[in-house]
Amino acid sequence: MATEPSNVFNTPAEFFQLFAHNWRHIQKRLTATWSARQKAEVADDYDRLINELASAIDAAVATGSGDLANEWKKAQVFVRSLLAELRMWIAIKDNYADLAWRCFCDAEDYARMSARWLPDFMPAQEQPQRLRDVERVCFPSQPFFLSTATIVAEDDMFCTVCNQIYAECEHIVGNLYSGRIASRRITHIKSISEISFVDEPADKRCRVLRGPDGHDPLTGEPAQQGNALEQNDEI
Ligand SMILES: [Zn+2]
C-alpha cells in the first residue's frame, strides 16, 4: 500500500507543495517508535519515487530543459535524504549501529545539498537541524574522525559533467547542471601527505572503528563484534 505521495504531481512545484503540505505527517515516520512494517513500506515508496524522478530528469534533459531537470534533481536529492534517514531508523531498531551511522551521514549530506538548493522549501530548510538533533540524541559523541590529505596533480582531476580537466572547465563542484551534480573524479593520487584526527571531518563516515580500549565508540562493544559493517545495504 502506497503511503507517500508518488506519481501524483506533474511539475516540481506540485511536488514541493505536496511534501510541504504533508511534512508533519512525513516526519512521524522518521522516528524510533513508528512501526517497522510501515517504515519498510514508506522506504519502498521512496525508492519508487526516486526512480520516477530519475525518469523525469531524463525526460527533461531529452527535451533540452536543463532548468527543469535541475528542479527534479533537487526533489530527488530531498527524497534521498528522507530515505537515508528512514533507513537509519530501521538500522537502529535492528541494532546495526555502523549501518545506522552511515545512513545518517548520507541523510545529512543530502539534506545539506537540499537546504542549499531549496531556500524557499521549508522541509529542506528544517531537515539539517532535525538531523543535528538526531545525531546528538541517537549517537554517542565521537571525539575523533580521520581526515586524509592527499596530493593530486591538476591534470589527474576531471569534471564529472564535461569530463574535462576540472581546473580548466567552468563547472563548480556541488552545483547542478541539467540534472547532474558536478563533482571531481580523481584518476591518480600522487601521495598521501597526512592522516590526522579531527573533530570536524569532511566525511563523518571516516570514524574510529576501534577506540583505545578496543571497543567500538558507537556501541561500547568489542570492536570486532560491535559493528555490523558486513551487513550493509546500499543506499
Ligand atoms: Zn566541467
pLDDT, tens digit (0-9, with 9 covering 90-100), for 46-64: 999 999 999 999 999 999 9
Separation of 50 CA from ligand 1 center, angstroms?
25
Q: Three-class SS of residue 165?
A: strand
User: Which residue intervals of 145-228 are DSSP H helices?
Assistant: 223-226
Separation of 177 CA from ligand 1 center, angstroms?
9
pTM for this prediction: 0.86
What is the predicted pLDDT for the residue at 7? 56
**Nearest to 85, CA basis, from 104, 69, 65, 64:** 104
Separation of 182 CA from ligand 1 center, angstroms?
7
Separation of 154 CA from ligand 1 center, angstroms?
13
- Sorted by where each begins, the domain ranges of the chain are 12-138, 145-198
CB atoms within 10 A of CB 75: 26
Cβ 75 vs Cβ 15: under 8 Å: yes
Residue spans of the chain under pLDDT 50? 1-6, 226-235
What CA–CA distances, in Å, run from 199 to 141, 144, 150, 207?
A: 10, 5, 19, 10
Separation of 174 CA from ligand 1 center, angstroms?
12
Separation of 231 CA from ligand 1 center, angstroms?
36
What is the predicted pLDDT for the residue at 202? 81
What is the predicted pLDDT for the residue at 74? 98
Separation of 157 CA from ligand 1 center, angstroms?
11
